C-alpha cells in the first residue's frame, strides 16, 4: 500500500505549486525619452502584461516600485536626472537579501564596461539597442518566472520553518509538562495540595532575579527548582509517612531522597535537566557545613542550591504539614533571618528579604494559599514529629 504524503509536506507542495501568472506581475520601466517609454509600453502590452507603470524620471522610480509592489524594473542607463547605474544601486541596496528582485537594463550603450557595471551593481539582464520585440518579451518573461519561483521557494521555506517552530514548541511544552508532573508526583507522596513545588520554583525565580542572574538562568532555575525533592518518589511509605519522629536509620533513609533524585535526573541532555540534578543534589547543604549529603559549606555550595534551600524551607514553614501547623509569615521570616550565616548565605537571606519587602501582593498570596491549603489540603497519613522535614 502506498503511504500518503504527510499532510504538512503535501500542503507545502501545494503552496509551491501556487504560482502567479507572470502576466499579473507589475513592471516599472524607466526612460527619460517619452518615445522609448511608449514603445516599450506597447511591446509589453502586446505581450499581455496588464500592470505597467511607465516612469520618465528615474528619481521617482524607487518610490513607484514600493507603491506598486513591483516585480520587475526595466531601466535605461544614460539619463540626465539620475544615472541608471545609480538607480540600480539604490534599488538593490533597499531590497532584502532573500527578495530576488530582477532589474533589466535596456540601453544603446554597447560598451563592455557599461554591461559589467550594470550587472555588478545587481542588474539581472542587459539588453542593447536595437532589439527585437520578441527578445524583450522572452527576457521579461524569464525574469518574471524566476522571480515567481523564488517567491514560491521562499514561501515553502517559511512554511517549513514555521512547522519546525511549531513542532519544537510542542515538544518543549510536552517536556516541561512531564517535568512538572514528575515534581508533583513526588510532592503528592506526602503533601496532597501540590502547590509547594510551584511556589518554590516561583520564589527561586524571584530570588535569582534579585541576585542579578541573567534572565535565561532565572527562567531555567524557575523550572528546575520544583524538581528538588523528586527523589522522594524512591522513599518507602513506611518512612515517608511514618507518624512520629524518625529514628536515626530512618532519617538516613529519608536523606537518600537526595541521592535518588540525583540518580533520576542524572545524565540529562538538556540544560534544564543538568540544573535540576544540581538542585536535587545541593538543596540540603547548609552554609555552615552542617547539611547533607556532602557537608559543603559557604560558596562551595552551588548558588542554585543556596537559593533553593531558602525558598524550600521558607515555603515549608509557612504551610501546614502533617507534623506541624503553618507558621505565621513574620515568624517564618524571623526564622530565615535567624538561620542567616548558619543554614543560609547571609547575602542570599538579605536578597530574599528584599524580594519579600518589595512584593506585598506576593506575601498576601502566600498567606492566602497557606490558609486555603490548610482548609482543603488533606495531609496524607498521621502527623509527623517536628523535624522530619529538614
Ligand atoms: Fe528535600
**With contact defined as beta carbons under 8 Å apart, do 88 and 123 qualify?**
yes
CA–centroid distance, residue 257 to ligand 1 (Å): 7
Cis peptide, bond prior to residue 41, ω within 30 of zero:
no
CA–centroid distance, residue 269 to ligand 1 (Å): 23
CA–centroid distance, residue 360 to ligand 1 (Å): 27
CA–centroid distance, residue 132 to ligand 1 (Å): 85
Q: How confident is the model at residue 11 (pLDDT cuts 50, 70, 90)?
A: low
Percent helix, strand and coil across the chain, each to the nearest 5: 60, 5, 30
CA–centroid distance, residue 300 to ligand 1 (Å): 19
CA–centroid distance, residue 93 to ligand 1 (Å): 60
CA–centroid distance, residue 229 to ligand 1 (Å): 5
Could you report the per-residue pLDDT of 238-251, keeping only the tens digit for each?
888 777 778 899 99
Instruction: Label residue 194 left, alpha or beta by phi (over 0 means left) and psi (-120 to 50 means alpha).
Output: left
Q: How confident is the model at residue 390 (pLDDT cuts 50, 70, 90)?
A: very low
CA–centroid distance, residue 319 to ligand 1 (Å): 15
The cell numbers describing 313, all together, are 524551607
Stretch 285-312: mean pLDDT, rounded? 97
CA–centroid distance, residue 298 to ligand 1 (Å): 19
Predicted TM-score (pTM) above 0.85 = no
Q: Exposed, middle or buried, 66 (CB in 10 Å: 0-12/13-18/19+)?
A: exposed
CA–centroid distance, residue 119 to ligand 1 (Å): 70
* Inter-residue long-range contacts of 234-243, CB under 8 Å, 24+ positions, other chains counted: 234/260, 234/264, 235/189, 235/260, 237/189, 240/189, 240/190, 241/189, 241/190, 241/380, 241/381, 241/382, 242/381, 242/384, 242/388, 243/381, 243/382, 243/383, 243/384, 243/385
CA–centroid distance, residue 166 to ligand 1 (Å): 36
CA–centroid distance, residue 124 to ligand 1 (Å): 68
Could you report the per-residue pLDDT of 107-162, keeping only the tens digit for each?
999 888 999 999 999 999 999 999 999 999 999 999 999 999 999 888 888 999 99
Q: What pLDDT does residue 14 have?
A: 61
Could you report the per-residue pLDDT of 33-59, keeping only the tens digit for each?
999 999 999 999 999 999 999 999 999
CA–centroid distance, residue 343 to ligand 1 (Å): 14
Rg (CA), the chain: 36
CA–centroid distance, residue 371 to ligand 1 (Å): 23
CA–CA distance, 243 with 237 (Å, rounded to integer): 11
CA–CA distance, 356 with 133 (Å, rounded to integer): 80
How many residues in total does the chain contain?
Answer: 390
Amino acid at each position: 500500500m502506498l503511504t500518503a504524503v504527510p499532510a504538512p509536506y503535501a500542503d507545502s507542495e501545494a503552496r509551491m505549486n501556487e504560482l502567479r501568472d507572470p502576466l499579473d506581475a507589475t513592471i516599472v520601466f524607466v526612460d527619460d525619452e517619452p518615445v522609448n517609454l511608449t514603445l516599450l509600453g506597447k511591446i509589453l502590452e502586446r505581450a499581455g502584461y496588464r500592470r505597467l507603470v511607465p516612469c520618465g524620471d528615474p528619481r521617482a522610480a524607487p518610490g513607484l516600485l514600493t507603491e506598486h509592489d513591483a516585480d520587475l524594473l526595466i531601466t535605461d542607463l544614460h539619463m540626465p536626472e539620475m544615472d541608471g547605474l545609480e538607480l540600480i544601486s539604490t534599488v538593490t541596496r533597499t531590497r532584502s537579501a532573500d527578495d530576488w528582485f530582477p532589474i533589466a537594463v535596456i540601453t544603446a550603450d554597447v560598451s563592455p564596461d557599461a554591461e559589467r557595471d550594470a550587472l555588478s551593481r545587481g542588474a539581472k539582464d542587459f539588453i542593447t539597442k536595437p532589439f527585437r520585440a520578441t527578445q524583450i518579451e522572452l527576457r521579461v518573461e524569464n525574469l518574471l518566472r524566476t522571480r515567481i519561483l523564488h517567491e514560491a521557494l521562499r514561501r515553502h521555506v517559511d512554511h517549513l520553518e514555521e512547522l519546525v517552530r511549531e513542532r519544537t514548541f510542542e515538544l518543549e511544552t510536552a517536556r516541561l509538562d512531564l517535568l512538572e508532573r514528575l515534581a508533583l508526583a513526588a510532592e503528592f507522596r506526602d503533601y496532597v495540595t501540590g502547590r509547594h513545588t510551584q511556589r518554590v520554583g516561583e520564589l527561586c525565580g524571584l530570588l535569582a532575579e534579585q541576585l542579578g542572574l541573567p534572565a535565561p538562568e532565572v527562567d531555567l532555575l524557575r523550572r528546575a527548582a520544583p524538581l528538588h525533592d523528586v527523589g522522594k518518589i524512591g522513599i518507602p511509605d513506611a518512612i515517608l509517612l511514618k507518624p512520629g519522629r524518625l529514628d536515626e536509620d530512618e532519617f538516613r533513609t529519608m536523606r537518600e531522597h537526595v541521592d535518588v533524585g540525583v540518580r533520576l535526573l542524572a545524565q540529562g541532555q538538556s540544560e534544564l535537566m543538568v540544573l535540576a540534578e544540581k538542585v536535587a543534589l545541593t538543596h540540603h547543604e547548609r552554609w555552615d557545613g552542617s547539611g547533607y549529603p556532602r557537608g559543603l559549606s559557604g560558596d562551595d555550595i552551588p548558588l542554585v542550591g543556596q537559593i533553593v534551600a531558602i525558598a524550600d524551607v521558607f515555603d515549608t514553614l509557612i504551610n501546614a504539614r502533617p507534623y506541624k501547623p503553618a507558621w505565621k509569615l513574620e515568624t517564618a521570616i524571623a526564622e530565615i533571618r535567624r538561620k542567616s550565616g548558619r543554614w543560609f548565605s547571609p547575602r542570599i537571606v538579605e536578597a530574599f528579604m528584599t524580594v519579600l519587602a518589595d512584593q506585598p501582593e506576593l506575601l498576601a498570596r502566600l498567606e492566602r494559599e497557606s490558609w486555603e491549603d490548610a482548609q482543603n489540603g488533606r495531609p496524607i497519613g498521621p502527623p509527623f514529629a517536628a523535624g522530619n522535614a529538614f
